[in-house]
Amino acid sequence: LEDIYGKGNFVAVRPNHFASNILWFKSGIETGEIQHPNPEAEYDWISPGDIGRVCGSILARGLTQPIVWLMGPEKMALRDAIGVVARALGKDVKITKISAEEALVDFQKKGFPEPAARWLVNYVTEDAGYEFKTNVYEEARGSILKYTDREPVKFEQWADGNLQRFKA
């Protein structure tokens, strides 16, 4: 960005794990069964609305901080996030842990090219939650409040407001 726009002429907003990523599991929630190589992986589940509010605030204020790191307000395991949605929909969802190799095959059946499928499997099995151990975690966790003067949306709030997206 610096090469293209010049130093001080851009802001890169870097959100972590979107709450809407739970929609990847919509069909499994509908059928009542999800298979995943690491259902205990923790994510921050940032609301897309919070990301938009931060971006709007930065545009309105004319800020030129080079990078704004964003994270949602809470760590929550994938298993627990699926449980939040399932309970709100009144469904029982079985979550089965599968091997990385089984997940790789599954991602490829879903149309992911092999290199992308390998990256994704590695991310969810080896690297999930690494963001919580970085030196920008505390800054990122407080950015939504800092830039919007509003408390960030928790995952359960986001899920409750988006239940229609999980229905056929």
The tens digit of pLDDT for each residue in 40-97 reads: 999 999 999 999 999 999 999 988 788 999 999 999 999 999 999 999 999 999 999 9
- Phi first, then psi, for residue 164 (nearest 5°) are -60, -25
Mean pLDDT over residues 15-40, rounded?
A: 95
Convert the pLDDT of each residue in 104-136 to its tens digit.
999 999 899 999 999 999 999 988 888 888 888
Q: What is the pLDDT of residue 48?
A: 97
pLDDT given at position 66 = 87
d(CA 77, CA 39) in angstroms, rounded, equals 7
Biggest alpha carbon distance in the chain? 52
Both tokens assigned to 101 = 């190799």
Q: How many Å apart are CA 106 and CA 43, to the nearest integer?
A: 21
Residues in the chain: 168
Confidence (pLDDT) at 93: 97
Question: Is this model's pTM higher than 0.75 or not?
Answer: yes
* Beta strands 94-97; 33-36: pairing state: parallel
Using a 10 angstrom Cβ sphere, with 0-12 exposed, 13-18 middle and 19 or more buried, the burial of residue 46 is: buried
